[in-house]
Structure 1
Amino acid sequence: MKKRNIITVLGISLTLLASCGKSFLERDPQAELPESQIVNSKGIEASLIGAYGILNGNVNGTWGNYSSAPSQWLFGEVAGDNAHKGSEATDQPNMNMIEFHTPNSSNDNLSQMWEVYYEGVLRANNTLRILKADQAGGKTVTAARAKEIEGEARVLRAHYYFYLWRVFKNLAYVDENTTDDEAKTKPNKDDILPKIIDDLKAGIANLPAAKINSQAGRMDQNIAKAYLGKVYLYQKKYADALVLFKEVIGAKDLRTMPYQNNFDVLTKDGPEALLVSKHVINPDGSGDNANVGDMLSGLNGSNPVGCCGFYQPTIDLVNAYKVDASGLPLLDGSYRNNPYKSDFGLSDDAKKTYKLDITLRFDPRLDYTVGRRGVNFYDYGVMPGDAWIREVSSGGPFVGIKTMIPKSLHATHTASGAAYITDLDVNIIRLADVVLMAAECQVELGDLGAAMNLVNAVRERAAKLPPKTTGDNVAAAVYVVKPYTSFPDQNYARKAVRFERRLELAMEGHRFYDLVRWGEAKTVLESYATFEGGFMARYKGLSYKPQNDYFPIPQSQIDRSGGALTQNTGY
């Protein structure tokens, strides 16, 4: 599938991960079919599947796909205030630069992101190019199917470009009509959002509402609508976005869709799933088609996973789940008062006698997002604290849950000998995300009542979550989450919607990008660093600059382009 080499050439990416040297530019590489032999229905369908294959952020192998993960945990969460890089302070030092917003253009995480998603663009372009050749000649693909393939490939291309745009902003745009020579010297000065919008509109026009061949993971009309609405939201075109979000939501009632099912390997393809990166363990037990992007987030130490200790929730995120006496979030930031930090900072002797405080009032989504000492963690037993954490002093006392699966399912849902590689799918866009984006639009358009109703649907669903328990089988907190009774003004409503996005979608790759599009990144991240730095000195003194809204263009790509690509301002 994804591992099949597709004949593509792109000057700005310059090297596919599976190609090197002069052979990269040969028209008919050894062991690859020339285009003349794949301009037919089988070749086109195979090319399309190859384009889908990049959804999991991987071209080859398992290790090394962290920054290109579909969950976007590194850029979307570690660069924000929800997650620490974790592991040890000296492990993957280039990730530290992403976390502390001190990246340079030689950072391998940036190169990985660039190369993988431009490979996705290439594969989508290749599909469209050979489809066009087929339709101009033998027409081995029916007109109806050709329309669908075009829609699938163009939504895939839009997705890959959007992921690149959020990280790098200034890109070179190439499509199926761009020649090799043009691609080699294409500057990164194109405004690609209109191109992304065109592709998503084509998806809406060409794709059916139902999954093609009933195959989960295929692009469909609702995905294209949700994605186009998201792009409009980034452009602050709230009215245009809201129309699309309403169409996607339709008569669906989020409150009937269990929150926890989104992170359960046995409940894939549920009614909330929209755009999903599908993952499988290969028949031979290998995992290159599995969730390799999140493999580092495995627990470390004396637990059934045993590796790798990255991607730890922050103390700030955990405390954000506190609720007031009315069961509402503490929007004024007072959740940082008297902060809960588990056993962090206690002496070794004090840690031995530590007891979980079950009287704290928390939104129940906390313990479906974060593993904390004293609370049962799936079927692994009670989370013991430090014994599952690689370096508490740099990553903190908490671990993530949303990328994990129960121990009882390891035999059938993890790679052979590597329990940290699972076939858990990743939701790139799910219905709650759309509901909260619609609420955001309603706030900005002045319909605060409608916005509150949408937020309350999310909160009422959260209130149905079964309580997590301690080793004594009692509730691990006073779990309470109540709906809002009023949004008194637009500023309050805006805070409520934005805070709800954090609570609902934490550790799913949205947070940093949300802060940037809201224009809040500097204020929020510098405040967060001051708070978090009170516990871990390495977080003190974060200075967020305007250029930090985006990341530098990989220097290797600038060099290979002969200077056609130019560096982002400030780097």
Structure 2
Amino acid sequence: MKKNILYTTLLCSALLATGCGKDFLNKNPQGALSEEQVTNSDGVEANLLGAYGILNGNVSGTWGNYASAPSQWLFGEVAADNAHKGSEETDQPNMNLIELLRPNPANDNLSQMWQVYYEGVLRCNRTMQLLEADQAGPKTVSAARAVEIQAESRMLRGHYYFFLWRVFKNIPWVDEATTLDEAKLKPNNEDVFPNIIADVQFAIDNLPAAKINGERGRMDKVIAQAYLGKLYLYQGRHELALPLFKEVIGAKDITSMPFENNFNVETEDGPEALMVSKHAINPNGTGDNANIGDMLSGLYGTSPVGCCGFFQPSIDLVNAYRVDANGLPYLNGQYRDNAYVSDMGLSGAAKANYQVSRTLRVDPRLDYTVGRRGIPYLDYGVMPGDAWIRMATYAGPFVGIKTMINRSQFASHAVPGEPYITGLDVNIMRLADVILMAAECEVELGNLPGALAYVNSIRLRAATVPHKQIGGDDMANYMVMPYPSFPNAEYARNAVRMERRLELALEGHRFFDLVRWGVAKQTLESYSTFEGGHLPAFSGVIYNTHNAYFPIPQIEIDRSGGALTQNTGYN
């Protein structure tokens, strides 16, 4: 992949005709144009589309975009207790260091994350610079559209900066008024969070509620409201976040929106979708506009996908879906007792003749999140276990589902011969996420009945998830029930946090949630003790204060001539 440093100048591509759906970002570069050629409506709109193009975490090419994936699977899930890097221990060893919380400034995953999302920032800035020049001269962009373009650009820029802030925290702020020479030497010693809030607030004030031109994937006011609420939540300003979440939720009934539709390429971007990274297979069959950040999570071996065996759910996550006799989650860690580990550790006839337990009492969302031996997997057939796993003795017996598409969809929605590269969208934010953030606010503001109602709406929807069956028989004792009450704030808080884990597992939220809740140390070290008892590679994890953020890439510090300073703990 082409590497871009902080002050890379964007070469504008010519504006392509756009329509609704996947075609919105289905574009190919057309070459460099002069300043005069792009200081007009077509040039500004083309640059804006280029800014949107970074939503899928890719600047150019297909391979190598894993750390910048919009799903944030590496930083948000593998670094937490939900997933392992997978594959083999010697494959992508720098990812191992992320998972074990021992990253160093030379880690290429860090520089990938930094460079891609700063490229997104630069594209947003460039769009606004061209817009300003047009408004000062020929005014080929209408005044009303100019405000919308600025709002779209600032919403995107706020998102790109937030992704950078969550990973690195101490980052330099470069905006449309920053010159090239200033950008090269901009320090990272100021809090950029107020600027991110200002960008998203501008988007709320100036974006329409409806998608511009009816194009799916565009930023709108509703997205901005949800995003600003999330920013306030990260600051602990629950009283400001909750009204925004309530505006987004409105009268929407999530129980009528099938959970599984969020992860099907033919039903994606439905009524639950809010902020989405739109993906598509290009007309020529290439996949640089596809979900290439998640491509490594493809199944291995004899599976219909055949590559690449990364991003495996943890044993701990799978057991978290176990429920008690009342259909409620175990909030006290009891789900680890007598842990379910599929066929791991068996050999010989016991391994060959293994049968999945149909009495295992679990939330049905488990089998739409995790592939288990003996359970039907999409339309691929019954998951056979190790035959679809790169190295089960290293990263365990489970595989993911949410990033995969049906075999019947390969011809239309996957790169020919490479069905691990697909047109499946990634939900950066969906309604269930917002509902559970609202529930969190209600708990912290003392409204336990309000929190209960939000959590139970998610659980009532979960109860409608179709059961996995063979021959008309359920493959587990599927059970999920609403909470009868939240007796106190501590119980409610734990229930909300568990529900976020179950509902949003493997969607990139978990590590950042643990950090902002202030429970990362006890959670991750306890997890390491449990998980390491089954898979030794993951024992002995120590979470230190500096692990809340990752090191600034050393290559960026060097390029800045020392203007950037390293995060504490990584010197």
After superposition, the C-alpha distances for 1:483-533 in whole angstroms (9 at most, x for unaligned) are 011100000000000000000000000000000000111100000000001
Structure 1 stretch 44-53 or stretch 346-355: which is displaced more?
Answer: 346-355
CA contact (8 A) 1:321 1:362 kept: yes
One-letter amino acid matched to 1:540: S
CA spacing shift, 1:129–1:17, aligned 2, 3 Å: closer
Query: Distance between the aligned counterparts of 2:364 and 2:291, measured in 1?
Result: 26
CA contact (8 A) 1:14 1:560 kept: no
SS at structure 1 position matched to 2:6:
coil
Q: What is aligned with 1:124?
A: 124
Structure 1 stretch 340-349 or stretch 169-178: which is displaced more?
Answer: 340-349
Query: Distance between the aligned counterparts of 2:311 and 2:475, measured in 1?
Result: 23
After superposition, the C-alpha distances for 1:435-474 in whole angstroms (9 at most, x for unaligned) are 000000000000000000000000000000110124x442
CA spacing shift, 1:16–1:92, aligned 2, 3 Å: farther
One-letter amino acid matched to 1:157: R
Q: What is aligned with 2:19?
A: none
After superposition, the C-alpha distances for 1:219-270 in whole angstroms (9 at most, x for unaligned) are 0000000000000000000010001000000111111111011001001220
Q: What is aligned with 1:526?
A: 525
Query: Distance between the aligned counterparts of 1:86 and 1:247, measured in 2?
Result: 40
CA contact (8 A) 1:369 1:506 kept: yes
The count of corresponding residues between Structure 1 and Structure 2 is 553
Unaligned runs of 5+ in 2: 13-29
Is the aligned partner of 1:163 residue 2:180? no
Structure 1 stretch 245-254 or stretch 133-142: which is displaced more?
Answer: 133-142
Task: After TM superposition, give the deviation of residue 147 of structure 1 in Å.
Answer: 1.1
Q: What is aligned with 1:324?
A: 324
CA contact (8 A) 1:364 1:479 kept: yes
Task: After TM superposition, give the deviation of residue 15 of structure 1 in Å.
Answer: 4.8
CA contact (8 A) 1:17 1:60 kept: no
Q: What is aligned with 2:20?
A: none
Task: After TM superposition, give the deviation of residue 32 of structure 1 in Å.
Answer: 1.8
Query: Distance between the aligned counterparts of 2:437 and 2:9, measured in 1?
Result: 36
Q: What is aligned with 2:39?
A: 39
Q: What is aligned with 1:310?
A: 310
CA spacing shift, 1:350–1:553, aligned 2, 3 Å: same
Identity of aligned residues (%): 67
Query: Distance between the aligned counterparts of 2:385 and 2:287, measured in 1?
Result: 29
Task: After TM superposition, give the deviation of residue 17 of structure 1 in Å.
Answer: 10
SS at structure 2 position matched to 1:533:
helix
Query: Distance between the aligned counterparts of 1:554 and 1:80, measured in 2?
Result: 21
Query: Distance between the aligned counterparts of 1:81 and 1:410, measured in 2?
Result: 31
One-letter amino acid matched to 2:197: I
Q: What is aligned with 1:355?
A: 355
Task: After TM superposition, give the deviation of residue 138 of structure 1 in Å.
Answer: 1.2
SS at structure 1 position matched to 2:106:
coil
Q: What is aligned with 1:134?
A: 134
Q: What is aligned with 2:26?
A: none
Task: After TM superposition, give the deviation of residue 135 of structure 1 in Å.
Answer: 1.1
CA contact (8 A) 1:285 1:415 kept: yes
CA contact (8 A) 2:7 2:183 kept: no
One-letter amino acid matched to 2:485: S
After superposition, the C-alpha distances for 1:384-408 in whole angstroms (9 at most, x for unaligned) are 0000000001110000000011101
Q: What is aligned with 1:502?
A: 501
Is the aligned partner of 1:488 residue 2:487? yes
After superposition, the C-alpha distances for 1:161-196 in whole angstroms (9 at most, x for unaligned) are 000000000000010000111111110112111000
Query: Distance between the aligned counterparts of 2:556 and 2:11, measured in 1?
Result: 16
Query: Distance between the aligned counterparts of 1:219 and 1:143, measured in 2?
Result: 19
Query: Distance between the aligned counterparts of 1:195 and 1:42, measured in 2?
Result: 29
CA contact (8 A) 1:16 1:115 kept: no
Q: What is aligned with 2:436?
A: 436
Task: After TM superposition, give the deviation of residue 370 of structure 1 in Å.
Answer: 0.2
Q: What is aligned with 1:372?
A: 372
SS at structure 1 position matched to 2:275:
strand
Q: What is aligned with 2:6?
A: 13
CA contact (8 A) 2:263 2:402 kept: yes
Query: Distance between the aligned counterparts of 2:80 and 2:315, measured in 1?
Result: 13
Q: What is aligned with 1:195?
A: 195
Query: Distance between the aligned counterparts of 2:472 and 2:544, measured in 1?
Result: 48
Query: Distance between the aligned counterparts of 1:429 and 1:92, measured in 2?
Result: 28
After superposition, the C-alpha distances for 1:535-570 in whole angstroms (9 at most, x for unaligned) are 111111111111001000000000010000010000
Structure 1 stretch 486-495 or stretch 344-353: which is displaced more?
Answer: 344-353
SS at structure 1 position matched to 2:81:
coil
One-letter amino acid matched to 1:355: Q
Write out the 4+ residue segments of structure 1 that deviate beyond 6 Å after TM superposition: 16-19
Q: What is aligned with 1:146?
A: 146
Query: Distance between the aligned counterparts of 2:461 and 2:416, measured in 1?
Result: 36
Query: Distance between the aligned counterparts of 2:501 and 2:450, measured in 1?
Result: 20
One-letter amino acid matched to 1:255: T
Is the aligned partner of 1:400 residue 2:400? yes
Q: What is aligned with 1:558?
A: 557
After superposition, the C-alpha distances for 1:46-84 in whole angstroms (9 at most, x for unaligned) are 000000000000000100000000000000000000000
CA contact (8 A) 1:14 1:557 kept: no
TM-score by length of 1: 0.95
Query: Distance between the aligned counterparts of 1:193 and 1:36, measured in 2?
Result: 35
CA contact (8 A) 1:17 1:59 kept: no
Task: After TM superposition, give the deviation of residue 34 of structure 1 in Å.
Answer: 2.5
- The aligned runs of 1:410-559 (5 Å cut-off) are 410-470=410-470, 472-559=471-558
Q: What is aligned with 2:301?
A: 301
One-letter amino acid matched to 1:261: N
CA contact (8 A) 1:18 1:60 kept: no
One-letter amino acid matched to 1:553: I
CA contact (8 A) 2:11 2:31 kept: no
CA contact (8 A) 2:79 2:511 kept: yes
Task: After TM superposition, give the deviation of residue 31 of structure 1 in Å.
Answer: 5.0
- The aligned runs of 1:153-302 (5 Å cut-off) are 153-302=153-302
One-letter amino acid matched to 2:287: G
- The aligned runs of 1:42-81 (5 Å cut-off) are 42-81=42-81
Structure 1 stretch 34-43 or stretch 154-163: which is displaced more?
Answer: 34-43
Structure 1 stretch 130-139 or stretch 396-405: which is displaced more?
Answer: 130-139
One-letter amino acid matched to 2:482: P
CA contact (8 A) 2:217 2:278 kept: yes
One-letter amino acid matched to 1:532: E
Query: Distance between the aligned counterparts of 2:99 and 2:7, measured in 1?
Result: 28
Query: Distance between the aligned counterparts of 2:558 and 2:348, measured in 1?
Result: 52
Query: Distance between the aligned counterparts of 1:436 and 1:43, measured in 2?
Result: 40
Query: Distance between the aligned counterparts of 1:241 and 1:374, measured in 2?
Result: 43
Query: Distance between the aligned counterparts of 1:46 and 1:287, measured in 2?
Result: 20
SS at structure 1 position matched to 2:303:
coil
SS at structure 2 position matched to 1:446:
coil
SS at structure 1 position matched to 2:427:
strand
One-letter amino acid matched to 2:540: G
Structure 1 stretch 410-419 or stretch 225-234: which is displaced more?
Answer: 410-419
CA contact (8 A) 2:70 2:293 kept: yes
SS at structure 1 position matched to 2:421:
strand
One-letter amino acid matched to 1:317: L
Task: After TM superposition, give the deviation of residue 303 of structure 1 in Å.
Answer: 1.0
CA contact (8 A) 2:10 2:123 kept: no
Query: Distance between the aligned counterparts of 1:17 and 1:401, measured in 2?
Result: 36
One-letter amino acid matched to 2:436: L
SS at structure 2 position matched to 1:276:
strand
CA spacing shift, 1:210–1:546, aligned 2, 3 Å: same
One-letter amino acid matched to 1:444: E
Query: Distance between the aligned counterparts of 1:80 and 1:479, measured in 2?
Result: 26
Query: Distance between the aligned counterparts of 1:422 and 1:369, measured in 2?
Result: 18
Task: After TM superposition, give the deviation of residue 18 of structure 1 in Å.
Answer: 9.2
One-letter amino acid matched to 2:389: I
One-letter amino acid matched to 1:114: W
SS at structure 2 position matched to 1:325:
coil
Query: Distance between the aligned counterparts of 1:549 and 1:509, measured in 2?
Result: 15
One-letter amino acid matched to 1:268: E
One-letter amino acid matched to 1:138: P
